[in-house]
Structure 1
Amino acid sequence: MTTTESRGRRQARGGRQGYAVLDVETTGLDPYRDRVIQVAIRQIAADGTAESEWESLVNPGAGVDPGPVEIHGLSSADLADAPPFRDVAPLIAERLAGRVFVAHNAAFDWAFVAVESDRAGVRLEVLEWLCTMRFAKALALEVPDKSLATIAAYYAVEQLQAHDAGDDTRVAAEILLRELADADRAGVMLPLVECNSARHRFKRTLRRWFSSFRRR
């Protein structure tokens, strides 16, 4: 490995503040129409040390269908006394600030958190995300698919409650640590993706406007 490659990996390794591993459960698949109903975050230092964990149910609003209850297990009654996203948005922003955003299928989780935060008027100080699913592909793991359950089984990480944001975040965090170790051994650069530039924020604003217009 060259000096430049080594330095590049160190810079990509979450900077000074490390990682924020996040998972959401939602009412559907479209971040511009559907809502977050559960969110969990685990903070991990750049050296892999666990720092904190937090999770919350989220009330999507009066009369909003909670979506596929058979998948996430959360009914309207479960969410009735939960805070709305606007109330937890500042806490989420604080836990993500200055860190690499990490999730399994990060494009999905990032889109929901970013759009919900935009609605709440809260700016997320995040520049890049790291997808543990994309990371598995970069590492060329010999698995039949890149689902969370499959990658967890590959790394012998026990999954206790699938589609629960708290447990999925725990599993994703364990996978991340194992992938980081594999990347170090193999000399693989982290597949970081820019996600929150001014251009990204402008595109989200336009899509929210068009989505709102179509629903009228």
Structure 2
Amino acid sequence: MKYAVIDVETTGLDPQQNRVIDIGIVLLDANFAQESFFTSLVNPQMPVTATDIHRICDADVTSAPAFTWLIPQVVQLLDQRIIVAHNAPFDLRFLNAESARSGQPLNLERHHAVCTMDQSRIYCPEGSHSLGALASRLGIETPVLHRALPDALICAELFRHYVNAESQGELFAQHAINRHGDVVYPCEWERARPWHARSHS
């Protein structure tokens, strides 16, 4: 299997009302080594909000492409890969909402993804499950937080940590409960199914 580690920054939390303004994708090969990456600011075609979090302002995205222009490249990058994201349902919902608005729905489903936030409850000691907090506990460098590509790179490092911890039998739990009340089990990457461009219609 190959993997596409994704992060999006947005104008808010509701994918029906808010928009993506920054996207980062890191491609990993079957051995979890980085192959390449892609990043772009996105013109949300609405005022930028949540600037205190991501530090992106209206002027930054004025000349950026709208999401509809990025979809062909996103499709090419995700094709035949398992998606990895921190709080994966959030990223999937926004990508689905943006692509649906553009008339080119990606149809990304939860079984296409590994959630590094959920898996942290298995492979990391107790504490905050935020990306920055986990990186700090594991000694992963975080030069910038809440920008898409840096966060995707951190997420890729978390993913590698989990894979290595599993191979060493270094689990903190055999199962856990996530923030939504769902049961989390180890090795989600072994159960996830790659997304295929042919499902994009």
Q: Answer whether TM exceeds 0.5 for this pair.
A: yes
Aligned partner of 1:124 in structure 2 is: 106
Residues in 1 aligned to 2:11 and 2:187: alpha-carbon distance in whole angstroms? 35
Give unmatched runs, 5+ long, in structure 1.
1-14, 202-216
Match status 1:27 vs 2:11: yes
Counterpart residue identity of residue 39, structure 1: I
2:48 aligned to which of 46, 61, 66: 66
> 8 Å contact 2:25–2:38 — kept in the other structure?
yes
Q: Indicate which of 65, 87, 93 corresponds to 1:83.
A: 65
Q: Residues of 2 paired with 1:132 and 1:48: CA distance?
A: 14
Q: Does 1:174 align with 2:157?
A: yes
State the shift of 1:185 in Å.
Answer: 2.1
2:38 counterpart of 1:54 = yes
TM-score w.r.t. the length of structure 2 is 0.82
**C-alpha deviation, 1:76, in angstroms:** 0.8
Distance 1:194 1:51, change over 3 A: closer
More helix by share: 1
Q: Deviations over 1:178-205 (max 9, x none)?
A: 1111122228432656798xxxx9xxxx
Residue in 2 that maps onto 1:10 = none
Matching residue's letter, 1:38:
D
Contact 1:98–1:125 under 8 Å retained in 2 = no
Runs of at least 5 residues in structure 2 that lack an aligned partner in the other structure: 172-185
Verify the 8 A CA contact 1:90 1:122 in the aligned structure 2: no
Cα distance between partner residues in 2 of 1:168 and 1:120: 25
Quote the residue 1:143 is aligned against.
Answer: 126
- 1:105 partnered with 2:87: yes
Counterpart of 1:36 in structure 2 is 20
Work out which of the two has the higher radius of gyration on C-alpha atoms and give 1 or 2. 1
How high is the TM-score relative to the length of structure 1? 0.76
Deviations 1:119-173 (CA, angstroms, capped at 9, x unpaired)? 223343755110101111133x213111101111122111111111111111111
C-alpha separation between the residues in 1 aligned to 2:126 and 2:136?
Answer: 10
Equivalent residue number for residue 204 of structure 1 = none
Counterpart amino acid of 2:95?
V
Q: Which has the higher contact order (CA 8 A, sep 6+)?
A: 2
